[in-house]
C-alpha cells in the first residue's frame, strides 16, 4: 500500500517524531486532547477535503464566500488539502501553532481553545474539526457548541472524522448528518462525517 508507506515516511519528519512539536510526544503528554499517535494520512486528509469543498460549495452560494475554521489544526495535515478554502487555523498547542505559522504563512493562525472560538462566533462559517470526540473531557462542550451555533445560523456546516463507526453527534439538531466516507487507509481507519 503506497499510501501507508508514504505515511510511514512522513512519520520520520521532524514535526512527527522529534522536537517540541513531536506528535508522539504530545500524544503521550495529552492523549485525550491529541487523540491520535500520528497526523492524518494523506488519504484521510483528501477525504475530509472533498467533503469540506462540497459542503462549502453548497453553503457559500453564488458568491462562493464563506469563512472557514479548522479546529485542532495540529501539524497541518488537513490544512494542506483545504488551504484553498482559506481557513482560519485554530490550535491550542503553542508549538503546533508556531509550526502552522511557518507552514502556512498566508493563513491566519489563532493559538486558542476552539471552545472560545466557537463561543465568540459573530458571522456564519463552516467548520472542519480534528478535535478528538472520544474520551476527551471537552468533547461534551464542543458538541453542544457546534449544535447551538448551528441552531443560531452561525455554523452552516461541520466536517469531522472519528475512529469509531457511529455518528458522534447523533442527538444533534443538524438537518442532515451523514457518513461521507469510510477511510481504511488511516491508522486507525476513520469515518468522515458531514453535518449541514
Ligand X SMILES: C[S@@+](CC[C@H](N)C(=O)[O-])C[C@H]1O[C@@H](n2cnc3c(N)ncnc32)[C@H](O)[C@@H]1O
All residues at 6 or more sequence positions from 94 whose CB lies less than 8 Å from its CB, including other chains = 111
Query: Is residue 113 a contact residue for ligand X (CB under 6 A)?
Result: yes
**Shortest Å distance, C-beta 162 to ligand X:** 10
List the alpha helices (DSSP H) in the chain.
Answer: 2-11, 14-17, 23-29, 31-34, 42-60, 79-82, 94-103, 114-119, 139-151
For 101, which DSSP code? Answer: H
Query: Is residue 81 a contact residue for ligand X (CB under 6 A)?
Result: no
**Shortest Å distance, C-beta 153 to ligand X:** 23
How far is it, in rounded angstroms, from Cα 83 to Cα 101? Answer: 13
Could you identify the residue written with the cell 510511514? 8
**Shortest Å distance, C-beta 24 to ligand X:** 12
Query: Is residue 90 a contact residue for ligand X (CB under 6 A)?
Result: yes
Nearer to ligand X by Cβ, of 59 and 113: the residue is: 113
Query: Is residue 114 a contact residue for ligand X (CB under 6 A)?
Result: yes
Considering only residues 21 to 80 of the shown chain, the ones binding ligand X according to CB under 6 A are: 33-36, 39-40, 71-72, 74-75, 77-78
Amino acid at each position: 500500500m503506497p499510501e501507508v508507506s508514504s505515511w510511514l515516511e512522513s512519520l520520520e519528519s521532524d514535526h512527527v517524531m522529534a522536537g517540541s512539536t513531536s506528535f508522539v510526544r504530545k500524544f503521550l503528554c495529552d492523549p485525550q486532547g491529541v487523540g491520535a499517535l500520528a497526523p492524518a494520512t494523506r488519504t484521510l486528509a483528501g477525504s475530509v477535503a472533498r467533503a469540506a469543498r462540497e459542503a462549502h460549495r453548497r453553503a457559500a452560494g453564488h458568491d462562493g464566500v464563506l469563512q472557514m475554521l479548522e479546529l485542532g489544526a495540529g501539524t497541518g495535515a488537513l490544512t494542506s488539502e483545504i488551504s484553498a478554502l482559506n481557513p482560519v487555523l485554530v490550535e491550542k498547542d503553542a508549538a503546533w501553532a508556531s509550526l502552522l505559522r511557518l507552514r502556512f504563512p498566508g493563513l491566519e493562525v489563532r493559538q486558542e481553545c476552539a471552545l472560545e472560538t466557537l463561543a465568540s462566533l459573530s458571522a456564519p462559517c463552516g467548520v472542519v474539526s480534528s478535535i478528538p470526540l472520544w474520551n476527551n473531557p471537552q468533547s461534551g462542550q464542543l458538541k453542544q457548541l457546534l449544535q447551538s451555533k448551528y441552531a443560531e445560523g452561525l455554523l452552516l456546516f461541520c466536517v469531522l472524522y472519528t475512529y469509531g463507526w457511529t455518528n458522534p453527534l447523533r442527538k444533534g439538531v443538524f438537518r442532515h448528518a451523514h457518513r461521507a466516507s469510510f477511510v481504511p487507509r488511516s491508522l486507525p481507519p476513520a469515518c468522515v462525517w458531514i453535518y449541514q
